[in-house]
Amino acid sequence: MIPRPTWNAWKVWRRNWDVFFKTYRVNFLPPFIEPVLYLLAIGYGLGMFVGEIEGIPYVLYIAPALLAISMMNSSFFECTYSSFVRMYYQKMFDAMVSTPLSIEDVIAGELLWGATRSFIYATAMLVVLVAFGVVSLPTSLLVIPFSFLAGLLFAGIAMCFTAITPGIDTLNYPAFLFITPMFLFSGTFFPLSVLPGPLQVFALAVLPLAQVVTVTRSLTLASLSPLFLYSLAWIGAVTAVFFFLSIYLMQRRLVV
C-alpha cells in the first residue's frame, strides 16, 4: 500500500528545473526584493517602536521568520496552484505516465521540485540578509540545507490539498485558512509566549511553520532554542508522513 517512487522522479524534477530557468528573470526577482521590503518596513520601521524582543533587536528577530515564510510560500504554492495547473490544465502528468515513469515517480518529482524551490528562494534571500548583516555566520549557512527539508514538508502538505481539491478555486481555502493564519501566528513577528496558553500549545503541536521558525531562528541567531531538537524531529517525521500520503492520494485521484 505504501507508494514506491523510484529515482526516475529526477526526470520530472529536471523538467520543472528547466522551465524555471527558462524564465529565471521573473522567478528570481521576488526572493531578492521581498526581504528588502520587509526588512525596511517591518524590521527597521516597526522595529523602531518595538525595540527588542527577548533581548534581541527586532530586525534580527524577524529575519529568520522571513526565511521560514519564504520556504513555506515557495514550496506550498508550487505544489498547490502550479502542480494543479500542470496536472489538470496542461495534462502534464498524463503525458508523463505514458512513458516509463509511474505516477509515484511523477508526484515524487513534483515534491522534490517544491522543496528545491524553497531551497532556491531561501538561499537567495539569505544572501540579502547576510548583506544587511542581520544573520549570524557561519551557523546561518545551515539554513541552506534545512530549507530543502522544510520545503519538502510544505510540498507534501500542499500536494495533499491538490490531490483532493475539486478545482483550482477551492485551493484558495488552504491558502487563506491555513497558510495566512500560520504566517501570522507561528512566532514569526511576535513570540508565541504572548498568545493564550492553549494557543501556544496548539501552535507548537500542530503548526508546521512554528517548527520551521524555531529551527531557522536558532540557526540565524546562533543560539539554540530549547525546542530545537523537538522541532527538527517533528519536521522530519511529519515530512515523511505527508510525502507518502500525498503520493497515495494522488494515485487514488489519477489512477482510474
The residues that touch other proteins, with contacts defined as CB under 8 A, are: 8, 11, 14-15, 18-19, 22, 90-92, 94-102, 255-256
Distance set, CA 72 to CA 46, 88, 175 (Å) = 23, 23, 11
Nearer to other proteins, 49 or 89 (CB): 89
For the CB of residue 77, give the shortest distance to other proteins in the complex, in Å: 17
Nearer to other proteins, 6 or 223 (CB): 6
Distance set, CA 37 to CA 78, 138, 216 (Å) = 22, 24, 20
Burial 228-242 (b: 16+ CB within 10 A, else e): beebbebbeebbeeb
Nearer to other proteins, 98 or 138 (CB): 98
Query: Can you tell me the distance from the alpha carbon of 202 to that of 64, in angstroms, rounded to the nearest whole number?
Result: 21
For the CB of residue 121, give the shortest distance to other proteins in the complex, in Å: 20
Determine what percent of the chain falls in helix, strand and coil, rounding each to the nearest 5. Answer: 80, 0, 20
For the CB of residue 95, give the shortest distance to other proteins in the complex, in Å: 4
Nearer to other proteins, 87 or 115 (CB): 87
Helices (H), 98-227: 103-131, 143-164, 172-174, 180-184, 197-206, 208-221
Please name every residue paired with 57 in a beta bridge, in sequence order, or none if there are none.
52
Residue 2, classified by CB atoms within 10 Å of its CB into exposed (0-12), middle (13-18) or buried (19+), is exposed
Nearer to other proteins, 100 or 181 (CB): 100
Nearer to other proteins, 70 or 102 (CB): 102
For the CB of residue 10, give the shortest distance to other proteins in the complex, in Å: 10
H or E, element range at 61: helix 58-77
For the CB of residue 139, give the shortest distance to other proteins in the complex, in Å: 38
Cis amide leading into 57 (omega within 30)? no
For the CB of residue 171, give the shortest distance to other proteins in the complex, in Å: 20
